[in-house]
Amino acid sequence: MVAIGLMSGTSRDGIDAALIRTDGEGLVEPLAFHGTAYSEGFRVRLAEVCARAMTMDEPTFEPLIDSVETELTQAHVEAVSDLLARAGWQAQNVDVIGFHGHTVAHKPDRGWTWQIGDADGLAGAFGIPVVADLRSADVEAGGQGAPLLPVYHRALAADLDKPVAVLNLGGVANITYIGADGSLVAFDTGMASGLIDNWMQMEGGKPFDEDGATAAAGRVDQTVLTAMLDHPFFDMPPPKSIDREDFTLQPVRGLSLADGAATLTAFTAHSVELALRQLPARPTALYVAGGGRHNATLMRMLGEVTGVAVESVDGLGWNGDAIEAEGFAYMAVRSLKDLPISFPGTTGVPEPMTGGELFDVD
């Protein structure tokens, strides 16, 4: 099947759109990828919606959320149009779209997770069936609803020596451990770029710490770092997941721009080290995907703190920017085939299960 995958991640920077050919199992052939950045104004509105949603006891639409969902859906329509045009593909030749939407609140401990986006409208715009709401069934069954990418990581890593670990650095970080028998263990490790981006936006007037240059010029405040690592999340056994809003900038307030960036970057690196201790076996290498792999200071700190080889997945021939979007295309096909997308070792769900709701065209 030919599938499009769409991902608007916790970094809130834009939409990743990927086109792949796959059977939902061992065959994966990436065909095209394109990323579309959100405007600064929309990023601000999206952040406001996320903050508002996190205060709710249950998902409840209101005017601001309605408005942002409409904008978000239109942005996804434009991203699909752009991808198809760049790739030279016609909509009628695409079998399915995997639509993640945007997570505005993630509260599996309360039995819900909330991704906004009008999947029915997206299906109607192109005449392509859409699989969306890929996390809710897992949460309703008692799972964490995240991370979902491990099943795709396993497909990509089929020819690699096992065990192997893949680290995804978006706004939040998650790790996938693939055992010699193909077994999966995966969980969120903590923050990746989310707090660093927030710090740079609030204190430096920049969207992110490009190449980690600001952090490289600063000094890690060990007292603040120790306090940040003294969080109950890190002692919880996996599988486990977090929302971007679970950690705040409060501990680094009062530090200089550079020292704050350095301390937050070290926080991400040390969080990964704590996660490695919870894996079935310690990997000899970490293959890193996601935008955080472009942060040279973060990659250096990861190597220093963990003592393992830290390598970009691009060295394996994968597109480290496209993996999440490709993964949702892959999961959409698995959903259509009633194949599992989450597992006891990845989300804590009682048994392997599929997920997603199909929004078909009339």
| pLDDT above 80 for 350 | yes
Please, which pLDDT band fits residue 245 given cuts at 50, 70 and 90?
A: confident
Tens digits of per-residue pLDDT, 14-29? 999 999 999 999 999 9
The number of beta carbons lying within 10 Å of the beta carbon of residue 215 is 29
Q: Extract the tokens encoding 337.
A: 């085939």
Provide the pLDDT for residue 284.
Answer: 84
Judge whether 138 and 349 are in contact, CB under 8 Å: yes
The torsion of the CA quartet 231, 197, 170, 99, rounded to 10 degrees, works out to: 120
Residue with the bigger pLDDT between 244 and 39: it is: 39
Q: What is the pLDDT of residue 146?
A: 93
- For position 176, what pLDDT does the model report? 98
Share of the chain above pLDDT 70, in %: 100
- When the candidates are 3.40.470.10, 3.40.718.10, 3.30.420.40, 3.40.1280.10, the CATH number that belongs to 2-145+348-359 is 3.30.420.40
When pLDDT is cut at 50, 70 and 90, the band that residue 57 belongs to is: very high
Beta strands in 216-344 (DSSP E): 285-289, 309-312
Kindly indicate the confidence band of residue 232, based on its pLDDT and cuts at 50, 70 and 90: very high
Question: Residue 254: which pLDDT band, with cuts at 50, 70 and 90?
Answer: very high
Report the percentage of the chain scoring pLDDT > 90. 96
Question: Pick from 8, 148, 2: which is nearest to 76 by CA?
Answer: 8
Q: Is residue 49 scored above 80 in pLDDT? A: yes
The pair phi, psi for residue 220, each rounded to 5°, is: -75, 125
- Are the CB atoms for 289 and 320 separated by under 8 Å? yes
Mean pLDDT of the chain: 96
- What distance in Å separates the CA atoms of residue 256 and residue 286, rounded to the nearest whole number? 31
Quote the pLDDT of residue 218: 98
List pLDDT tens digits, range 154-183: 999 999 999 999 999 999 999 999 999 999
Q: State residue 116's pLDDT score.
A: 98
Residue 78 DSSP SS3: helix
50-60: average pLDDT: 95
pLDDT at residue number 10: 84
At residue 256, the pLDDT reads 98
pLDDT confidence tier of residue 244, bands split at 50, 70 and 90:
confident
DSSP alpha helices (H): ranges in 88-190? 119-126, 136-140, 150-156
Helix (H) or strand (E) holding 20: strand 14-22
Overall average pLDDT of the 279-305 stretch: 96
Give the confidence band of 302 by pLDDT, cuts at 50, 70, 90. very high
Q: Is the pLDDT of residue 127 over 80?
A: yes
Burial class (CB in 10 A: 0-12, 13-18, 19+), 5: buried
CATH of 150-316, one of 1.10.10.10, 3.40.50.11540, 3.30.420.40, 3.40.50.1820: 3.30.420.40
Q: Where are the domains of the chain?
A: 2-145+348-359, 150-316
Range 294-298 average pLDDT: 98
Write out pLDDT tens, residues 207-226. Answer: 999 999 999 999 999 999 99
Contact 13, 39 (CB under 8 A): no
Side chain identity at residue 106, one-letter code: H
Please report the pLDDT score of residue 243 as a whole number: 85
Per CATH, 2-145+348-359 and 150-316 having the same topology is answered: yes
The pLDDT of 224-233, averaged and rounded, is 97
The pLDDT, as a whole number, for residue 11 is 86
Question: Looking at residue 235, what is its pLDDT?
Answer: 95
> 68-78, pLDDT tens digit by residue?
999 999 999 99
How much is the pLDDT for 91? 98
**pLDDT over 80 at 1, yes or no:** yes
Sequence-distant (6+) residues with CB within 8 A of 106 are 113, 114, 145, 146, 241, 242, 243
Query: What does the pLDDT read at residue 362?
Result: 73
Please give the average per-residue pLDDT across 176-199, as a whole number.
95
